Amino acid sequence: MKDYSLIRYNWQLSDWPRWSWDKTCILERLTQVRYQQGHLLGQMSSLGFPLQQEATLITLTEDVLKTSEIEGERLNKEQVRSSIARRLGIDVVGLIPSDRHVDGVVEMMLDATSQFNAQLTEERLFAWHAALFPTGRSGMTKIIIGSWRDDRSGPMQVVSGPLGREKVHFQAPPAVLLSQQMTDFLTWFNKDSSLDNILKSAIAHLWFVSIHPFDDGNGRVARAITDLCLARSEQNSKRFYSMSSQIQKQRNAYYDILEKTQKSSMDITEWMAWFLDCLAHAIQGAEVMLTSILFKSRFWERAQLASLNARQKMVLNRLLDGFEGKLTSSKWAKLAKCSQDTALRDIAELIKLGLLEQTTSGGRSTGYVIISQ
């Protein structure tokens, strides 16, 4: 009989991939998440189409930014926002050009959420992977695009730590097993079943990152698969909460629970519970976004009678979208691409209209904020 004390990773177990979990423990969490999900969707449906579009733009922007941040990569927020807005046909002020790497991540996430009922196939996954790495390189390293990894540089391992003292957190199945492993995964994923799509998203995420079929980008593809399943669970391509954003906030716990689960039995109760709790927090976080959108809507209702110029509308939108730091006249001039004198006149008009006010500090540190009513 095989000595299971010597087995290290889940894919090496004899019962792989027959996942099991404590249904009583998980059902309670699932019921709560489903209630939160339905409540949020009900709130969002009452907003009307323009505000739903705004909510979707905010959510997808966060999703794209945070799924990359989890991997230690920071994308330009304005480029991400502009890329999403152009692809969704949303008319927003201040769109800027975006580079092809940003466009690639956006294209993958939009395909996952807008085509959520389409089958997940090898070709679709290869297209996502190619979009993530448009140059065929990860950093300076050339990687395989449009196919599974081949392990020519050694086994696929998830490691951390300085060179020479690396810690191996996980070792994926050898490349020779990938074709069958991915066939099994995709057959299961595309099969109609009674399994709730929220639970399916948790299992699919774990299963995919345990196979780790690509040279790079496995985490980002896994989170796109998660978003696809969550969209299926709602039968709605509009996204109003970001699972990736919440995972990024709990990044250390995320990697810890993945490592623990990948080194234990096929009982994934602890992973499922963590995933559902993370999802619950992501949905709760959408309440903050909803408050922000309603504030923005009420602000523009107040401002609609004022004759604002394009510069004023653009900068006010930046403030309403969560401008980082303090708005000063010099920052206004830089954002609006105008002179300091023009910036001061724009600001003075908005103060007179009761839309902006000066902060208490004066001098060179004088700042301006939107008046809330």
- pLDDT per residue over 219-253, tens digit each? 999 999 999 999 999 999 999 999 999 999 999 99
Range(s) for CATH 1.10.10.10 in the chain?
309-370
**C-alpha to C-alpha distance for 209 and 183, rounded to whole angstroms:** 15
- pLDDT per residue over 318-330, tens digit each? 888 777 788 999 9
**C-alpha to C-alpha distance for 120 and 183, rounded to whole angstroms:** 11
- pLDDT per residue over 139-163, tens digit each? 899 999 989 999 998 999 998 888 7
Evaluate if residue 310 carries a pLDDT over 50: yes
Q: What is the pTM of this model?
A: 0.84
Average pLDDT over residues 358-365: 70
CB atoms within 10 A of CB 298: 12
- pLDDT per residue over 111-136, tens digit each? 999 999 999 999 999 999 999 999 99
Evaluate if residue 364 carries a pLDDT over 80: no
Q: Which CATH superfamily is domain 4-293 in?
A: Fido-like domain (1.10.3290.10)
- pLDDT per residue over 60-71, tens digit each? 999 999 999 999
Provide the pLDDT for residue 160. 87
- pLDDT per residue over 73-122, tens digit each? 999 999 999 999 999 999 887 789 999 999 999 999 999 999 999 999 99
Provide the pLDDT for residue 300. 84
Provide the pLDDT for residue 5. 43
CATH assignment, 309-370: 1.10.10.10
Closest CA to 39 of 294, 240, 201, 237: 240
Q: Which residues contact 14 (CB under 8 A, 6 or more apart)?
A: 2
Range(s) for CATH 1.10.3290.10 in the chain?
4-293
Tokens standing for residue 323: 């401008």
